């Protein structure tokens, strides 16, 4: 169940209330009985990064990077012939 934040219009008290999504918003302050307004606040739940679908469940895989051919003498290929 979500936690909603409220602020009293009369005394300024802010409080949180654990309510079901289908519950109606509160109308009275628990402190003084004045009218309250539901506040909009940032959720503690956030999605960041590439995402679980992209990283773990996607059927396509990223192509593997191939190493560039190195220029070493032991590669087995012969270079150009030298003129003597």
- Among left, alpha and beta (phi > 0; psi -120 to 50; other), residue 31 is alpha
Q: For the chain (length 84 residues), average pLDDT per consecutive 10?
A: 90 91 91 92 73 60 61 55 60
Q: What is residue 57's predicted lDDT score, i.e. its pLDDT?
A: 59
Q: What is residue 65's predicted lDDT score, i.e. its pLDDT?
A: 65
Q: What is residue 58's predicted lDDT score, i.e. its pLDDT?
A: 56
Q: What is residue 78's predicted lDDT score, i.e. its pLDDT?
A: 59
Cβ neighbours of residue 84 under 8 Å, at least 6 residues apart? none
Tokens of 4: 């909603």
Q: What is residue 38's predicted lDDT score, i.e. its pLDDT?
A: 92
């Amino acid at each position: 169940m979500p936690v909603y934040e409220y602020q009293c219009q009369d005394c300024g008290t802010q409080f949180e209330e654990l309510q079901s999504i289908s519950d109606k918003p509160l109308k009275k302050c628990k402190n003084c009985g004045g009218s309250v307004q539901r506040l909009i606040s940032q959720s503690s739940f956030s999605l960041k990064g590439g995402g679980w679908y992209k990283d773990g469940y996607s059927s396509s895989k990223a192509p593997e990077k191939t190493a560039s051919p190195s220029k070493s003498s032991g590669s087995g290929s012969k270079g150009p012939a030298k003129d003597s």
